[in-house]
Amino acid sequence: MSTSASQPRRVALVTGASQGIGAGLVAAYRALGYAVVANSRNIRQGDDTDIVAVPGHIGERAVAERIVQTALDRFGRIDTLINNAGIFVAKPFSEYTVQDFRDVIDVNLGGFFHVTQLAIPQMLRQRAGHIVQITTTLVEQPIAGVPAGLASLTKGGLDAVTRGLAIEYAKDGIRVNAVSPGVIRTPMHAPETHAFLAGLHPMGRMGEIDEIVDAVRYLEQAAFVTGETLHVDGGQHAGR
């Protein structure tokens, strides 16, 4: 996309960007003409100078500060923030360790809180912005045999705050939405589990990264949509 004085080039921040859904989102936003600031713990700078890698644990305030400051120093604005970084620890609830609890809270909630809080002031200055969370359909439809209490706890919070911030900032031009996936074929899931995971969906298959990316792309251009959680889950949220 060309940049003109009347329409500056847009800038997206993507967390958890080194693989899976996050890497798909980086590619999609670049294809839309955005500059991208891409974060994960192990991300490395590539050849494309319009993708700036900011390595670090997204649960750390200093990393969130570096992501936002990098966007402002390099590109001068922030249009979209995609809170994609997340970890999934499936265990019976009574077997979670305190360390499991801290790890999941730090990434799934801390990873949302710090960077979102720091990006919003720039969006307020621009009087425009879009924030997207990647949640999970387990928030509304827990599955027997898939114990995931910490996913419900943390992604449920993200789902709720999506509507909370959508209302808080609706008059400021900032939209806040979420995409709620079923089980998606990413490196998160070992290939030997795929047949079992496919069977957890009414449609009988896992989702693909592109199907989540398409949903985010829809929300990006949906100017009258805010506070929405868009399910992309092969029917999981509807029932079994």
Ligand X SMILES: NC(=O)c1ccc[n+]([C@@H]2O[C@H](COP(=O)([O-])OP(=O)(O)OC[C@H]3O[C@@H](n4cnc5c(N)ncnc54)[C@H](OP(=O)(O)O)[C@@H]3O)[C@@H](O)[C@H]2O)c1
Which stretches of the chain bind ligand X, using CB under 6 A?
A: 15-22, 39-43, 57-59, 84-88, 107, 111, 134, 136, 181, 183-184, 186-188
**φ and ψ at residue 115, rounded to 5 degrees:** -70, -35
Q: Which helix (H) or strand (E) holds 82?
A: strand 80-83
Question: Amino acid identity, residue 170?
Answer: A
Smallest separation, CB 177 to ligand X (Å): 14
Smallest separation, CB 181 to ligand X (Å): 4
Q: Tell how far CA 137 is from the center of its chain.
A: 14
Smallest separation, CB 235 to ligand X (Å): 15
Of the pair 55, 172, the CB lying nearest ligand X is at: 55
Q: Is the dihedral of CA 224, 179, 106, 21 positive or negative?
A: negative
164 Cβ partners below 8 Å, 6+ apart?
A: none
Smallest separation, CB 227 to ligand X (Å): 19
Give which of 111, 27, 120 is closest to 80, Cα–Cα: 120
Cα distance between residue 226 and residue 59, in whole Å: 25
Of the pair 35, 107, the CB lying nearest ligand X is at: 107
Of the pair 72, 105, the CB lying nearest ligand X is at: 105
Of the pair 43, 109, the CB lying nearest ligand X is at: 43
Q: Which helix (H) or strand (E) holds 122?
A: helix 111-126
The answer to whether the CB of 236 falls within 8 A of the CB of 141 is: yes
Smallest separation, CB 102 to ligand X (Å): 12
Of the pair 44, 171, the CB lying nearest ligand X is at: 44
